[in-house]
Amino acid sequence: MPNEVSGLFSDLHSVLLDAASIQERVASMAAAVERDFAGKEITVIALMDGALFFVADLLRHIDLPMRIVTMSASSYNGTTKSSAEVRLPWPVGLDLRGQHVLVLDDILDTGLTLAAVMERVRREPVASLKSGVLLEKRRAHARDVAADYVGFEIEDEFVVGYGMDYAGKFRNLPCIGILRLEGEG
């Protein structure tokens, strides 16, 4: 039954974070962002496609004026191996002058992606710059990069769901899980 809705779940070895726990944590992260940026207008840079669900849920809890910009940075090429190259096409005409910028991504793994984005944004005359990720893997990050907001710390395992993919799939899982390995029952 590969095409049933439950097919996605049956490819999981285990559920790491269920939908309710994610929603609860995202709401409390939103409260922290709202507190920190009180009285300011935010420019959110959402890193696609992984941060899609995280950003959509987080930002709807934040009662502050904001602009939302999407960017597609990638250090992955459809595999579970990270490559050292980060591609970051810069949106044409994007003006960050005097903006309070919040960069959001799904997960901090090697840290190459966030480091590259932060480095690029810092070249603009922004008023302030912060970053947030839903997940941070417990591992050494390739560069000295730390997110200001972290939802959950997880072990150094490959996860899928809630925006995160394996070869383009599993993003629409409402929970975050670990994939069953080939041949595993």
Q: What is the DSSP letter of 91?
A: P
Q: Is the dihedral of CA 115, 104, 108, 52 positive or negative?
A: negative
Token digits of residue 120: 């690029």
Cα dihedral 94, 96, 99, 105 sign? positive
Site map 15..54 versus Mg ion, x via CB under 5 A: -----------------------------------x----
User: Is 165 noted as a catalytic residue in this protein?
Assistant: no
User: Using CA atoms, how far apart are residues 76 and 61, in angstroms rounded to an integer?
Assistant: 30
Nearer residue to ligand IMP within complex by CB, 1 or 140 = 140
Q: Quick one: 37 or 170, whose CB is closer to ligand IMP?
A: 170
Q: Does 151 bind Mg ion (CB under 5 A)?
A: no
Q: Which is nearer to Mg ion, 37 or 161 (CB)?
A: 161
Q: Which helix (H) or strand (E) holds 117?
A: helix 112-122
Q: Which is nearer to ligand IMP, 64 or 69 (CB)?
A: 69
Residue/partner pairs of 161-167 with CB below 8 Å, 24 or more apart: 162/17, 162/19, 162/22, 162/53, 162/54, 162/106, 162/134, 163/49, 163/50, 163/51, 163/52, 163/53, 163/54, 163/106, 163/134, 164/50, 164/106, 164/107, 165/49, 165/50, 166/80, 167/78, 167/79
State the minimum distance, in angstroms, from the CB of residue 50 to Mg ion.
Answer: 3
163 interacts with Mg ion by CB under 5 A:
no
Binding site for ligand IMP (CB under 6 A): 47, 50, 75-76, 82, 105-113, 158-160, 164
- 161 sits near Mg ion (criterion: CB under 5 A): no
Which of the residues 57, 105, 106, 109 is marked catalytic? 109
Does residue 111 interact with Mg ion by CB under 5 A?
no
Q: How far is the CB of 158 from ligand IMP (least distance, A)?
A: 4
Find the binding residues for Mg ion in span 65-104 (CB under 5 A): none
Binding site for Mg ion (CB under 5 A): 50
Active site residues: 109
